[in-house]
Chains A and B, each alone.
Chain A
């Protein structure tokens, strides 16, 4: 049988399976969090006095804050670093350096998060501890997350910058624009959508990262006053408590999972919309 006849069927089946798996996970999450969503009110997750799940106090806000702070901090560090290195490799580096540097960044993207966590725990946390105890802190979480999302920012920015048509660069040069004038006036506006999409992806990764943050952030449920205070993120909370959570407690964990998934879905959708906009 010719390939064009049977291949679409197989591909369609694959796509359907992927879709169904996604759907089942979503339904499962909603199903498991239903006891809370129907019985306790969602407001309670914000207004409860604290997170003491065994005593029925389910305030998720400190952990949501921790998640957002850690991710934002990591983005604030990773965006300028990633953009700078992408600009360097595309426009300034000699080609042998650019190629090896890009390989290195891609390698960095492939390191499992637990390895980052391990490194953070054994190197970073003691280092911060010497400076400002206890070491396991929001700062450690931010730094480890930065390392983890830096390759995402760099690789996507690199792709977006490299995709800017040579013609634009030549036209800009022909008008007597300097290298930086070209980058700032023409290349960055042209690559803006792609770069932003990469940042969204990086943000999604930072929000959802569990292991590395869990290992270095200290996991105390509190609003941090300085970056040296320990924090607990939503993802870390799920990993820490699922083993013994029961009843409403378990359901609340699923709600926080749902919350994370919602956040990331919104970010991904925004990234996709931006990418589409670039190709118009």
Chain B
């Protein structure tokens, strides 16, 4: 019975039958990746990737290490700009505009597309300041407004009750799981449309990992989530769509993209089948 409760919390095999999928999965693309290639110092890391990210859905990027999943993720909010020697070819369309256009406002883009990293990295500041810093940067300076948004973000990640009485203590004193939830809250406070998550659970213990996973499930519908994960069971539990990457030649390629259930239960490509069944990778 316990197991059933656990399962019920987070509809386990994603969509269930295709017809019964939640409304959020009407495929309405918010991000369209078109022929994206990515190189580090001329060395290809991703080759000609095209895929759509659907609004309100959780899309999991799976595949072995070094196949370019994180690179693709960083390309979506142009964090690749920070990597010396990284060049991106192709287009990523967001609401029809190419984010690689020269006149794209990268700061505004990153506000719209939040990101959570593998390693929980709170700023070495107070909990309060961790949240308010980016709000101030984006012009939200009224004290009450900042406090309200911070509280809401912390409530959304289930951290409010744990930290509301010590908002001014150092964020680095929180546990790993709490730190990661704070990082998610920090991203949510900016009310992004899209949330990119790069293995958000892999540095956490199983319990903290479960808490964060539940949290990601709760974000479904309100946010569009793209998550890189090496935990196939997790991908299967939480994702609506899955994209499977593999290294062929020297660069990562998108092998198969589709509804999560399909990728896991009736993959078209034999590499996908081998990977999700644990035969390879």
A189 interface neighbour in B110, B123, B138, Cβ under 8 Å: B123
Number of A residues contacting the other chain (C-beta, 8 Å)?
Answer: 19
What is the minimal beta-carbon distance from B121 to any residue of chain A, in angstroms? 5
Q: Is the CB of A177 within 8 A of B137?
A: yes
C-alpha gap A163/B108 in the complex (Å)? 28
A171 interface neighbour in B117, B136, B138, Cβ under 8 Å: B117
What is the minimal beta-carbon distance from B79 to any residue of chain A, in angstroms? 6
What is the minimal beta-carbon distance from B176 to any residue of chain A, in angstroms? 14
Whether A270 is near chain B, meaning CB under 8 Å from some CB there, is: no
C-alpha gap A175/B107 in the complex (Å)? 8
Q: Is the CB of A175 within 8 A of B190?
A: yes
Q: Is the CB of B117 within 8 A of A172?
A: no
Interface residues in A156-209 (C-beta closer than 8 Å to B): 165, 167-178, 181, 185-186, 189-190
Q: Residue of A at shortest CB range from B170?
A: A280
Interface residues in B245-268 (C-beta closer than 8 Å to A): none
Q: Mark B97-123, 1 if CB is under 8 A from A, else 0.
A: 000000000111111001101010101
Q: Is the CB of A173 within 8 A of B137?
A: no
Whether B91 is near chain A, meaning CB under 8 Å from some CB there, is: no
Interface residues in B119-148 (C-beta closer than 8 Å to A): 119, 121, 123-125, 133-134, 136-138
B123 interface neighbour in A171, A173, A176, A178, Cβ under 8 Å: A171
Whether B77 is near chain A, meaning CB under 8 Å from some CB there, is: yes
Q: Is the CB of A174 within 8 A of B133?
A: no
A185 and B110 contact, Cβ closer than 8 Å, known pairs A167-B119, A170-B117: no
Q: Is the CB of A185 within 8 A of B79?
A: no
Q: Which residues of B contact A190 (CB under 8 A)?
A: 123-124
Q: Residue of B at shortest CB range from A174?
A: B115
Q: Is the CB of B114 within 8 A of A175?
A: yes
Q: Which residues of A contact B225 (CB under 8 A)?
A: none
A165 interface neighbour in B121, B186, B187, Cβ under 8 Å: B121
B79 interface neighbour in A165, A174, A177, A186, Cβ under 8 Å: A174
A175 and B121 contact, Cβ closer than 8 Å, known pairs A170-B79, A185-B137, A186-B133: no
Task: Give the secondary structure class of A's interface.
Answer: helix
B82 interface neighbour in A95, A168, A173, A175, Cβ under 8 Å: A173
Q: Is the CB of B134 within 8 A of A168?
A: no
Q: Which residues of A contact B124 (CB under 8 A)?
A: 168, 186, 189-190
Q: Is the CB of A168 within 8 A of B123?
A: yes
Q: Which residues of B contact A173 (CB under 8 A)?
A: 79, 82, 110
What is the minimal beta-carbon distance from A64 to any residue of chain B, in angstroms? 38
Q: Which residues of A contact B187 (CB under 8 A)?
A: 174-175
What is the minimal beta-carbon distance from A250 to any residue of chain B, in angstroms? 51
Q: Residue of B at shortest CB range from A181?
A: B137
Q: Is the CB of A177 within 8 A of B134?
A: yes
Q: Which residues of A contact B84 (CB under 8 A)?
A: 95
Interface residues in B62-79 (C-beta closer than 8 Å to A): 77, 79
Q: Is the CB of A175 within 8 A of B119?
A: no
Whether B92 is near chain A, meaning CB under 8 Å from some CB there, is: no
Q: Residue of B at shortest CB range from A186?
A: B123
Q: List 17 A-B contacts (CB under 8 A).
A: A165-B121, A171-B183, A173-B79, A174-B77, A174-B114, A174-B115, A175-B110, A175-B114, A176-B190, A177-B107, A177-B137, A178-B107, A178-B137, A181-B133, A181-B137, A185-B123, A185-B136
Q: A174-B117, A176-B134, A176-B190 are in contact. List 12 more A-B contacts (CB 8 A).
A: A167-B121, A174-B79, A174-B110, A174-B114, A175-B134, A176-B107, A176-B108, A178-B137, A181-B133, A185-B123, A186-B133, A189-B124
A-B CB proximity, top 8 nearest: A176-B110, A174-B115, A175-B134, A176-B111, A176-B107, A167-B121, A181-B137, A185-B133
